Amino acid sequence: MSTIPITKTGAERLKDELHRLKSVERPAVINAISEARAQGDLSENAEYDAAKEKQAFIEGRIKEVESKLAAAQIIDPSLIDADGKVVFGATVELENLEDGTKMTYQIVGDDEADLEVNKISISSPIARALIRKEAGDVVHVNTPGGDREVEIIAVQYI
């Protein structure tokens, strides 16, 4: 089984989700199924069908999260010493050389990526272009919105 890189924060979120699924959602759906069974004929019982469908989703998600955690290589960005190079978990401040706009991204695992909080996937075009570069480097990035040149202003491991 290959390992999947994930930040410490991302692993904690998955563990929290797994706990919630097992301790809250699973018992609730089991209760809903038993209540629907008590209503009698199951062949035309929409509540029963909906509860069974939700149970299948929850059980599938539990297996998926357990699998991800089992394969996870948990990386704490604050413990990284990469001599200023961009690596998984690094927070990178960039400047777009065309218009001077600045942006900051943390490079995270695929499951953690969320552009609204400036977290980009390690497999994204931007992250792949930045890996192994350092502050002061100008990087050519192929993005879905077109080609861009950015300068790395700072690299932090936080």
141 shares a domain with 116: yes
CATH number where 84 lies: 3.10.50.30
On whether both 70 and 81 belong to a single domain, the answer is no
pLDDT at 126: 93
pLDDT of residue 119: 96
The dihedrals phi and psi of 13, each to the nearest 5 degrees, come to -65, -40
Whether 116 and 93 map to the same domain: the answer is yes
> CA-CA distance, 156 to 158, in Å (whole number)?
6
Instruction: Please state the domain count of the chain.
Output: 2
Do 90 and 41 share a structural domain?
A: no
Domain C-terminal end among 75, 96, 121 = 75
**pLDDT at residue 145, as a whole number:** 80
Give residue 40's domain range. 4-75
* Domain of residue 45, CATH code: 1.10.287.180
First-last CA distance in the chain = 29
Final residue of a structural domain among 34, 60, 75: 75
Query: Of 24, 52, 75, which marks where a domain is finished?
Result: 75
Residue 1's pLDDT is: 59
Closest CA to 30 of 47, 46, 51: 51
Whole-number Å distance between alpha carbons of 73 and 78: 15
Do 90 and 146 share a structural domain?
A: yes
User: Whole-prediction pTM value?
Assistant: 0.83
Mark the ranges of the chain whose per-residue pLDDT is less than 70.
1
Q: Is 58 left (phi over 0), alpha (psi -120 to 50) or beta?
A: alpha
**Both 70 and 85 in a single domain?**
no
How far apart CA 22 and CA 59 sit, in angstroms, is: 9
pLDDT for position 97: 93
71, 125: one domain: no
Statement to judge: residues 18 and 52 lie in one domain = yes
Same domain, 55 and 66: yes
